[in-house]
Amino acid sequence: MTESPRAWRRELVGSMVEAAVLFSRDGQVLAINDRARDLLRTTPDVATDGVVETLSNAELSRAVDEVRVTGKPITVETEHGHRHLRASASMVSGETLLLISDRTQEKRVEELRRDFVVNASHELKTPVTSIQTLAEALSVVIHEQPERVPALVTRLGDEAERLAALVHDLLDLRRLEERGTREREPVDLTELVRQVVAAQVGRADGAGVELSVAAPDHLYVDGVAGDLEVIVKNLVVNAIKYNRTGGSAQVRLRPIGTMIEFAIEDTGIGIPQADLPRIFERFYRVDTARSRETGGTGLGLSIVRHAVEHHGGTIHVDSRLGQGTTFTVRLPAGRPPPGEPNR
């Protein structure tokens, strides 16, 4: 082969967006682009290195060798380091071209979706089975043991509420994960927080928890009011649920530079340090028994995280087992509507 066509092919390989490696008839590397070097974590010597030295992966090496022998294109998938790769090898004028794509993120998304379906099915099955069992029991005792009817109806209602909460959270999570950008508007976070807290005073009183708010008169963020309410409500409800009788939960709002900080500090049971990295995962529960007892779906904090990220914010948690937990959310500050007061 003349030098000109070979130089042209090397230039072509180097210009490709996709990772690409070109091998000669005898298996020597002729060209490799930067994307392939990054994926394969290799810096081959184009003068001496062959298939095995360049690829450092048995599956990819076998694919190239098979194409060199048979002349037929082949596609393989393999793990390389921490990456999941898909590679296609084919003959090009007697030389072998290997194109490689990184499917790590795609694979991760597939696994998350599969796990989500499995977990959601399991979580839905529990209240549905309970409702069916209670309905069957109710049909029997309504005539034979009427005195048991009120208790069964109460339990049936509890399970129905649990199912409704789970479905509602599943829909919220799906909406937050899949939707695009929505139109935002100035939201008075102080007013929103006060309204949410006021709605939870009864729950706090019933749990023996003192609930309070410390905030300036007006603090605005540009956002979706319903999603901001989801953030505040989930964190306030958790601060009550996982507290102790005689405990407290304080909500604080303050401006910090270009951000608005919303924090809620409780004196509850706390979270073990080993669990902190996972608490925002879907269906992850620190205390499964208590979560189910209090009606937790295991989705609340995942929903909060997605809603915070949609607003360009951050969320952080500090906790000590047996002493309490503080969730801190920071959101970009916004401007008030025309004619409305600022901070």
Q: Where is pLDDT greater, at 28 or 330? A: 330
DSSP at 286: S
Q: What is the structure's pLDDT at 256?
A: 93
The pLDDT score that the predictor gives to residue 290 is 52
Name the band, by pLDDT with cuts 50, 70 and 90, for residue 296. Answer: low
Q: In whole angstroms, what is the distance from residue 186 CA to residue 309 CA?
A: 17
Determine what percent of the chain is predicted with pLDDT higher than 70.
87
Stated pTM of the model: 0.60
Q: What are the pLDDT digits (tens) for 264-288? A: 999 999 999 888 888 988 777 666 5
Strands 83-92 vs 185-188: parallel, antiparallel or unpaired: unpaired
pLDDT at 288: 56
Task: Pull the structure tokens for residue 243.
Answer: 């507290």
Two tokens, residue 183 = 């139109």
The yes-or-no verdict on residue 140 having pLDDT over 70 is yes
C-alpha span between 165 and 256 (Å, rounded)? 35
> For residue 10, which amino acid is it?
R
pLDDT digits (tens, 9 = 90+) for 199-236: 999 999 999 999 999 999 899 999 999 899 999 999 99
CA 126/CA 293 separation, integer angstroms: 13
Residue 33 has pLDDT above 50, yes or no: yes
Residue that wins the pLDDT comparison between 25 and 234: 234
In CATH, what is the architecture of 104-179? Answer: Orthogonal Bundle (1.10)
Q: When comparing pLDDT for 183 and 6, which is higher?
A: 183
Give domain 183-343's CATH architecture.
2-Layer Sandwich (3.30)
CB 32 within 8 A of CB 18: no
> Which one is predicted more confidently, 124 or 85?
85
Pick the most confident of 15-19, 163-167, 251-255.
251-255
Which of 193, 216, 231 shows the shortest CA–CA distance to 307? 231
Would you place residue 1 in the very low, low, confident or very high pLDDT band (cuts 50, 70, 90)? Answer: very low
- If you average pLDDT over residues 304-310, what whole number do you get? 91
Q: What mean pLDDT is predicted for residues 131-148?
A: 86
Instruction: Name which residue leads in pLDDT, 6 or 96.
Output: 96
Given the DSSP bridges, would you call strands 248-256 and 210-214 parallel, antiparallel or unpaired? parallel
d(CA 288, CA 202): 25
Confidence of residue 255 (pLDDT cuts 50, 70, 90): very high
Contact (Cβ atoms closer than 8 angstroms) between residue 124 and residue 163: yes
State whether residue 249 is helix, strand or coil.
Answer: strand
pLDDT for residue 38 is more than 80? yes
Residue 331 has pLDDT above 90, yes or no: yes
Amino acid 204 reads A
Sketch the domain layout of the chain as residue ranges: 3-102, 104-179, 183-343
Handedness of CA 283, 287, 293, 294 (dihedral sign): negative
In the prediction, which pLDDT does 181 show? 56
What b/e sequence results for 309-326 when a residue is b if at least 16 CB atoms lie within 10 Å of its CB, and e otherwise?
ebbebebeeebeeeebbb
The tokens describing 259, both together, are 């951000």
**pLDDT, average across residues 150-174:** 83
Judge contact between 33 and 20, C-beta under 8 A: yes
Q: Is residue 96's pLDDT more than 70?
A: yes
pLDDT tops 80 at residue 34: yes
Give the Cα separation of 297 and 314 in Å (integer): 23
CATH no. for 3-102: 3.30.450.20
Per-residue burial over 259-270, b = 16 or more CB atoms within 10 Å of its CB, e = otherwise? bbbbbbbbbbbb
